């Protein structure tokens, strides 16, 4: 049975923690990164194979897929963690400028969150299906995929597209490949988040805690160990929909 796992966007935060945890669990982890981050030292020291890849660049994506197919006969899992977070632009009275700016933001969000996973899933499906046992695709989406966002509409729409791809690929690749999504709300703060923001953010969920990166990693491992979950979106939101915020 193959133990090769690809995780995209693994140079920092949740992706970094997940890649290290899976490596320590005995998996052969291939971690992609777009820009140099301090976390790459941790990954390399742990023996994780690190590959520079901008998932929105078709040339780089083509080369990466060819490299994976050359080096490996099968895959245990493909985890889509690569993400970007662009805010919608301010309204402009200049229609040409507004359309160009909005188009750029929307296309950028769709490229990283929906198009790249679609292309990678399609291209690497034969390796996932070649695994001796069951294999997995895991999409990392977002709480706002089901609620929308007033300031990050393009981002929310792209994550919703990724959730929909979860259902389509689950149908297409069954029964050999399980396909699921994880939709977190707040899991961990950034170091520069001030106390006022932290207090306000924590009150948005019923549990009112910062659970940390382990929450996502534990959910990834849960899905990898499951034999009977596919086509589902697992919410990691502390009961936020019930909090009324």
Q: What are phi and psi of 81, to 5 degrees?
A: -110, -20
pLDDT at 1: 58
How many Å from the N-terminal Cα to the C-terminal Cα in the chain? 45
Query: Quick one: CA dihedral 235, 131, 164, 62, positive or negative?
Result: positive
Q: What is the pLDDT of residues 34-61, one digit of tens each?
A: 999 999 999 999 999 999 999 999 999 9
Task: Tell me the mean pLDDT per 10 residues along the chain, length 245.
Answer: 91 96 97 95 97 98 98 98 92 80 96 98 98 97 94 96 98 98 92 86 90 95 98 95 79
In whole angstroms, give the CA distance from residue 162 to residue 160: 5
CA distance 81 to 141: 8
Is residue 17 classed exposed, middle or buried when 0-12, 13-18 and 19+ CB atoms within 10 A define those classes?
Answer: buried
- Phi, psi values for residue 171, rounded to 5°: -70, -45
Find the DSSP H helices in the chain: 13-24, 39-45, 58-71, 95-110, 116-129, 153-173, 195-202, 213-225, 240-243
pLDDT computed for residue 245 by the predictor: 55
pLDDT for 125-150, tens place per residue? 999 999 999 999 999 999 999 999 99
One of 155, 197, 222, 228 is an active-site residue; which one? 155
Provide the pLDDT for residue 177: 98
Query: Any catalytic annotation for residue 155?
Result: yes
Closest by CA position to 188, among listed 204, 203, 201: 201
Count of beta carbons in the 10 Å neighbourhood of residue 54: 18
Residue spans per domain, the chain: 4-243
Is the sign of the CA dihedral 48, 54, 59, 65 positive or negative?
positive
The two structure tokens encoding residue 199: 């207090």
pLDDT the model gives residue 94: 79
Q: What is the pTM of this model?
A: 0.95
**CA of 43: how far to CAs of 20, 31, 98, 156, 177, in Å?**
7, 8, 41, 30, 27
Among residues 173, 84, 187, the alpha carbon closest in space to that of 136 is found at: 173
Q: How far is CA 103 from the centre of its chain?
A: 23
* CB contact at 8 A, 234 and 183: yes
Whole-angstrom Cα distance, residue 145 to residue 131? 31
Neighbours of 170 (CB within 10 A): 19
Distance (Å, whole) CA 245 – CA 241: 8
CATH topology of domain 4-243: Rossmann fold (3.40.50)
């Amino acid at each position: 049975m193959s133990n090769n796992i690809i995780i995209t966007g693994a140079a920092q935060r949740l992706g970094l923690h997940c890649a290290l945890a899976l490596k320590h669990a005995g998996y052969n982890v291939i971690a992609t990164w777009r820009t140099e981050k301090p976390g790459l030292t941790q990954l390399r020291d742990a023996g994780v194979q690190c590959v520079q890849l901008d998932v929105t660049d078709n040339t780089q994506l083509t080369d990466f897929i060819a490299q994976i197919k050359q080096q490996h006969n099968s895959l245990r899992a493909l985890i889509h963690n690569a993400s970007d977070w662009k805010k919608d632009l301010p309204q402009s009275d200049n229609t040409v400028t507004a359309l160009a700016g909005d188009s750029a933001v929307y296309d950028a969000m769709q490229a990283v969150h929906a198009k790249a996973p679609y292309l990678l899933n399609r291209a690497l499906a034969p390796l996932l299906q070649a695994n001796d046992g069951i294999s997995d695709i895991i999409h990392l989406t977002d709480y706002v995929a089901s609620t929308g966002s007033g300031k990050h509409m393009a981002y929310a729409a792209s994550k919703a597209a990724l959730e929909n791809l979860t259902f389509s690929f689950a149908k297409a690749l069954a029964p050999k490949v399980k396909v699921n999504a994880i939709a977190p709300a707040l899991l961990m703060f950034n170091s520069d988040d001030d106390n006022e923001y932290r207090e306000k953010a924590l009150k948005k969920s019923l549990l009112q805690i910062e659970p940390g990166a382990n929450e996502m990693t534990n959910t990834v491992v849960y899905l990898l160990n499951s034999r009977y979950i596919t086509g589902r979106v697992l919410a990691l939101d502390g009961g936020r929909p019930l909090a009324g915020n």
